Structure 1
């Protein structure tokens, strides 16, 4: 199996993990963590008042009836412009991978994104008790800036940056100024024509696209044709099982599964996670409108102690092999509480160790199935807040579900299940080590003689 994985799976995984476009997407979205975290917690704190009534009454008593205004403002300054931040970040990261400074590239990409948005919005006004509706210039829906347009923003950022960088390498398009000109001015003029040409190409494309599609906006068309079917396929149990299986299969051969697949999964999870947060901020109570496999789902319910739910392994070691694994428990215990499990993965080791293959892969798959069914059936509240991946288990489940006890209970149950799955393998490893120890001692004595 290891030979098959190394020969056929590892080369593909390495190519995917090193793809500059996927890396740009992943790094940009991860780099936005300060924005997404503060916006998520703002929504969480606002809605905790509905879950924990004494907390809500206390906040209203201290700050007045409008105590949620601050949280609403923070949400508007973060999640409402999620795609705009992503366009800047992705374009910058991609341009940097081509050894470009990235500044002009991200501005040009942002201009291309904005010019592809609708300029006229449908507005309904009430004048003298009469309702008037029609198009009004400059009224653009926030849905063209938030996570709803994230897929469009990613495509525009990648394509615009590719065009800009390639045009900037064409010598006759570069304007050379005398040496006495300040460097900042010289750099700006050097990429003047490539930047203008890129924006012009995007404008022509947008015009032709609207002609061909009878006036449809690119984002609306992509939403109907690609995004909606893709999100439906992603937010499914088979996809969840496949993703978790691949992540842990890659870990078993020493490759960082979440990082390799992050360029594909991060935008999908971020988009669905932000959609859930927006629904929660609006007070939507219909659980069927929320996505299941969204945002911090895996961090809250599956990666308990890190990939492989290795906190369960540490607990199993304490139960079945405290003396044998004393140093490993001390080394990996504290980091494992905060979802950091490299000491266990490479110190035990789990990587390239066949005996740990079954529990390391099987445990997360089982907890993924349990978690997905629990959330989709409405037993557990869906993910409505983004949590840092280092949040300890159970606490993470509580916070990610907006302060609902059901999230903490599910995480606790999954931790127990993971421990029970690891337990027989720990017993087996202890017995194997016990049998091997006398043989090693005998061989050592013979060698010394």
Structure 2
């Protein structure tokens, strides 16, 4: 055990800690966290409009008040999930600039301007009452504002801010105003030239890109060569298992795996969940994604990462020597807070509990993915929901269907069965140690 701990301390923990503190990943993570209230209300608005209950559907479609509710929910979706990329580029740029102790607001404004002019400025529309499409200027397509542009938002937010910060450190480009000038004005003018150069460089880049790619825009290319392949890999059984192993492997060595993985999981899963929400909101015939949105929160991270709720039930059944964990961890676990058990039992670097801590999520991930893929359980149709939503309830809210709650219940039972032998083994080891 000591050799194992020494190996982890020397070869794993330092690199994992650096990964968790990497400023660009932290900027993306914090941007997604800041967007949580908007994605939650947008998701619930979509969920209400698409609940699989005939009475509710008829009320929203036929009743005057119900139509108003549906219209309000549609407006909320349009102002949240439909412009998610626009919100993300602001958050990423702001957080990255602040990490360099630079003007976050100015950097965010520059990144937003770049994000807009790297998207198409014309679109083909069919005016009301017309039969032919008209190509007009100034029609911003939602595809370049929503989930299909999330990768563009991250790239533009990071690169434009990096360039702005680097140019701002060149003394020859910084304008120094007289002391009599108000500080707010002085700060704005100080980085005037770096801001202008950043915009100009990206504008030239956009023009060159369109000319060498026969009119393709940045979002089109990113989705073709990065977004679609990554989404395809993520929305697969292998991708689901890989994410589960990554998160729980980090937890096992004492790092907050969920937070460290957030820049990756939020970018990919939130996109797929928002895609599902958009398909439902627009009535599209496109197939829904299986691994999407709060898939893990609803079906795997019940009681927190590691299905701690299942471990606590197993301890209640067989863990006589660790009843203290029930008092310490049950209330937090109801709201998916797992730290009291992970560090109090402990699970960290403790193979007897670490093994089922990893096995249970992997098994339930496989069960959940296959259940949704096969059609036994309704897919997730929201982009996100509060991670503190209690188990089973979260399964229903994520899918809008009772089958989601049933799947969550089955997964808890599976986790209890997996944890029980290890709890019994830990009890025998504790009894032997006490006897000696």
SS in 1 for 2:50: helix
Q: Which residue of 2 aligns with 1:343?
A: 340
How far did 1:125 drift? 4.3
How far did 1:101 drift? 2.9
The reply on whether 1:424 has 2:418 as its aligned counterpart is no
Distance 2:336 2:112 in 1: 36
Q: Which residue of 1 aligns with 2:110?
A: 108
TM-score by structure 1 length?
A: 0.92
How far did 1:4 drift? 4.1
How far did 1:123 drift? 2.5
How far did 1:3 drift? 4.3
Partner residue of 1:86 out of 85, 88, 101:
88
Residue deviations 1:308-363 (CA, integer Å, cap 9, x gap): 10110000111112x42222101101111110011100111111112112101111
Distance 1:111 1:61 in 2: 42
The reply on whether 1:301 has 2:303 as its aligned counterpart is no
Cα separation, partners in 2 of 1:279 and 1:126, compared to 1, 3 Å: closer
Q: Which residue of 1 aligns with 2:432?
A: 435
Structure 1 range deviating more: 259-268 or 99-108: 259-268
Q: Which residue of 2 aligns with 1:272?
A: 272
Partner residue of 1:20 out of 23, 38, 58:
23
Write the mapping of 1:320-339 to structure 2, written as runs, cut at 5 A: 320-321=318-319, 323-339=320-336
Q: How many residues are aligned here?
A: 431
Which consecutive residues of structure 1, in runs of 5 or more, have no partner in the other structure? 440-449
Distance 1:107 1:390 in 2: 33
How far did 1:256 drift? 1.0
Q: Which residue of 2 aligns with 1:72?
A: 74
Q: Which residue of 2 aligns with 1:387?
A: 385
How far did 1:72 drift? 0.5
Distance 2:67 2:254 in 1: 54
Q: Which residue of 2 aligns with 1:372?
A: 369
SS in 1 for 2:414: helix
Partner residue of 1:47 out of 50, 54, 58:
50
Distance 1:383 1:369 in 2: 15
Residue deviations 1:114-164 (CA, integer Å, cap 9, x gap): 11111111223477x7x3334211112111111111111110111100000
Q: Is the 8 A contact 1:82 1:146 kept in 2?
A: yes
Distance 1:276 1:115 in 2: 27
Residue deviations 1:44-64 (CA, integer Å, cap 9, x gap): 11222xx22334455654714
Residue deviations 1:85-107 (CA, integer Å, cap 9, x gap): 10100000000111113111000
Cα separation, partners in 2 of 1:64 and 1:29, compared to 1, 3 Å: closer
TM-score by structure 2 length?
A: 0.95
Structure 1 range deviating more: 213-222 or 392-401: 213-222
Q: Which residue of 1 aligns with 2:119?
A: 117
How far did 1:2 drift? 4.3
Radius of gyration: which is bigger?
1
Q: Which residue of 1 aligns with 2:172?
A: 172
Cα separation, partners in 2 of 1:398 and 1:126, compared to 1, 3 Å: closer
Which consecutive residues of structure 2, in runs of 5 or more, have no partner in the other structure? none
Distance 1:64 1:330 in 2: 45
Distance 1:67 1:366 in 2: 40
SS in 2 for 1:68: helix
